[in-house]
Homo-oligomer: A and B are copies of this chain.
Amino acid sequence: MVIAAHPDDVELCCAGTMARLAHAGHDLVLVHMTYGDKGGRDEPDVLARTRHQEAIDSAAMIGAVVDGRFCGDLELYPDDVTTKALADVWRKHDPSVVFTHRPDDYHPDHRITGELALAAGAQVAQSTPIWFMDTVGGVEFYPTDYVDVAATLDLKVEMLECHKSQMTWMAAARHASMPYMIRSAAGWRGLQSGMAAAEGFQPARAGDAWPFEDVTSLTFDKEAAR
């Protein structure tokens, strides 16, 4: 299960790994905390509908289920109501591994998503491993584990391209197209790990206080190798 802030964060941060897990036979759930209603030029209501459909289209490419959608963009707070709503989603899907943003990511919604994921996990399932995924630009993110995504990078780009509403304004804001962005990111993380393309991850410090999976037994790698 991935717990991400906005509808395209999975694609930006970990879709190559998710595609490998899907190919290995895992069931995937992609939780988007917000409607994504402010990431673009349309009216919030219209945009929220558009982006929900884009997220479903993208998820369908790896057979994943979409869930979440608790509030509008930048309306997310680390409060009791949202923690419990996320805990309910967690219980419903009972994941064996969770991926989320780091609580010190650059975007307020990402940071709060990370905090909410840790709090919901503490309520529901203290022994489920939680992994933090890379940030969009990788600033102050130091992966301890790299997953080879050379085989799924094209699929990752295709998933991202489902988010048609984001392509134009993001390219203007970033001075670079989104496919260029994630290909650069994958190439760079590959450069750091001796692979042609990679995604980087860190374990949450859950290991400090309750059972911690040995990195060598993470199902996303073992399964993929079969």
Within 8 A of B (CB), among A147-189: 148, 150, 173-176, 180-181, 183-188
Residues of B within 8 A of A192 (CB): 137-139, 207-208, 212
Residue of A74, A126, A136, A218 with most partner-chain B CB within 10 A? A74
* Distance of A184 Cα from B83 Cα, bound (Å): 34
Number of copies: 6
Given A138-B188, A173-B127, A208-B135: A215 touches B145 (CB 8 Å cut-off): yes
- A43 in the interface (beta carbon within 8 A): no
Residues of B within 8 A of A196 (CB): 175-176, 180
- A108 in the interface (beta carbon within 8 A): yes
**A18-26, A55-63, A89-97, A117-125: which lies at the B interface?**
A117-125
In the complex, residue of chain B having the shortest beta-carbon distance to the beta carbon of A170: B210
A137/B184 in contact, CB under 8 A? no
B221/A214 in contact, CB under 8 A? yes
Can you offer 27 A-B residue contacts whose CB atoms are under 8 A? A74-B83, A77-B79, A107-B209, A108-B115, A109-B122, A136-B209, A137-B192, A137-B209, A138-B191, A139-B208, A140-B205, A146-B212, A146-B214, A148-B214, A174-B210, A175-B196, A176-B191, A181-B187, A184-B186, A184-B188, A184-B190, A185-B188, A187-B187, A192-B212, A193-B212, A194-B207, A195-B212
Which residue in B115, B145, B187, B209 is a CB contact (below 8 Å) of A188? B187
